[in-house]
Amino acid sequence: MADFFATYGSLIVSMVLGALIGLSLYLPLMTGQLSLASPGFYALGGYIAAILSTKVLTSSSSLFPIPLLLLEMLIAGVICGLLGVIVGIPALRLRGIYLAIATIAFVEVLRVISLNLDITGGAVGIFGIPQPFQTPIEYLWIALPLLLISMVLLYRLERIRVGRAFIAIREDELAAGAMGIDPTYYKVLAFTLGAILAGVVGAISAHFLNTWNARQGTFDSSIIYLTFVLIGGSRTFLGPVIGGMVFTALPEILRSLADTAGLPNWLGQFLRDGRLIIFGLLIVIGTIFFPQGLITPDIFQRRKIRNKRTAKDA
């Protein structure tokens, strides 16, 4: 078991972090907003943690103190939340593809700013971010509780007034407004909650990766994270969780397939380097054949009905 965690520890933690990023994209989608801003907030959260841990909250101990890591996560969440409100109020006046383009522009603006600032290390980025744990798998002590707490909160959110307002706006914004729901307020709220979660995950990821640069928040990242939600499922929080885990592990699976004996060289090279092409094809195929993703609320309802029928027959 020790060898297993030593070999796959980084991948397991990356899968958990991928699930959290998927949830940060799922929150705006609950109100029907196709926002691709999560990579921008994720990158911002990482930069905040990287700058604080290397320049402000420095420690002489061999391991970075956990309380300081939690403080960085808090600061990253607050700053990303405030920026989410500032960006969300004007951006969420747009809908559909126009909102997607606006949020992609936001991600690119943050990326260009980070490339041109000395404090962010420019194109090179920030290296030597201190480690709070001795091994990668120990990051689960932070990432896994955060994922479980996020899932419980989203489970409750889907069943209380705020979550139902989100869903009502997604289904029909005009009808929701006619029922007394303020669409602007709830859309900005969902966008801000997603920004906070993405910023917090970015803070953890900066320490996990040990280095941070502008490549963490790019258009490519937006497409990958969008795949988590669109293919995993955009109608229940379990969709982005499962999608985030599967599609984070997919590149490693493709690399393993590329090393299969007897495989043509061109196919092996495509499996190694064609990740974005494969993700793009999955988005096209998934939106045609599974418009709500692979995991839908109907799956659980059908299981409940089947269990009731089985109980009656017994």
Q: Quick: pLDDT tens for 262-296.
A: 777 777 777 777 766 777 777 778 778 877 777 77
Which pLDDT does position 79 carry in this prediction? 93
Q: What is the pLDDT of residues 159-185, one digit of tens each?
A: 888 888 888 988 888 888 888 888 888
Q: What six digits make up the tokens of 158?
A: 């889907």
Q: What six digits make up the tokens of 249?
A: 């592990």
Q: What average pLDDT does the chain have?
A: 84
Spatial CA neighbour of 145 closest among 34, 210, 69: 69
Distance CA(217)–CA(215), nearest Å, equals 5
Identify the burial level of 11 via C-beta atoms within 10 angstroms of its C-beta, where 0-12 means exposed, 13-18 middle and 19 or more buried.
middle
Domains and CATH numbers, the chain: 1-311 (1.10.3470)
CB 158 within 8 A of CB 237: yes
The pTM assigned to this predicted structure is: 0.86
Q: What six digits make up the tokens of 264?
A: 């043509």
Q: Tokens 């009808």 appear where?
A: 175
3-state DSSP assignment of residue 90 = helix
Spatial CA neighbour of 27 closest among 169, 181, 128, 126: 169
Most confident of 28-32, 192-196, 225-229, 309-313: 192-196
Which pLDDT does position 207 carry in this prediction? 92
Q: What are the two backbone dihedrals, phi and then psi, of residue 296, each rounded to the nearest 5 degrees?
A: -125, 160
Distance CA(160)–CA(150), nearest Å, equals 15
Distance CA(160)–CA(165), nearest Å, equals 9
Q: What is the pLDDT of residues 24-47, one digit of tens each?
A: 988 888 888 888 888 889 999 999
Non-local (6+) Cβ contacts of 232 within 8 A are 22, 238, 239, 240, 241, 242, 243, 244, 246, 247, 293, 294, 295
CB 137 within 8 A of CB 13: yes
Q: Which residue has the higher pLDDT, 302 or 17?
A: 17
Which pLDDT does position 307 carry in this prediction? 65
**DSSP codes of every residue in 129-155:** PPPSSSSGGGGHHHHHHHHHHHHHHHH
Distance CA(272)–CA(158), nearest Å, equals 39
Distance CA(295)–CA(6), nearest Å, equals 31
Identify the burial level of 229 via C-beta atoms within 10 angstroms of its C-beta, where 0-12 means exposed, 13-18 middle and 19 or more buried.
buried
Return the minimum-mean-pLDDT range out of 10-14, 81-85, 102-106, 282-286.
Answer: 282-286
Which pLDDT does position 74 carry in this prediction? 94
Q: What angle do CA 121, 220, 119 make, to 5 degrees?
A: 10
Distance CA(237)–CA(197), nearest Å, equals 14
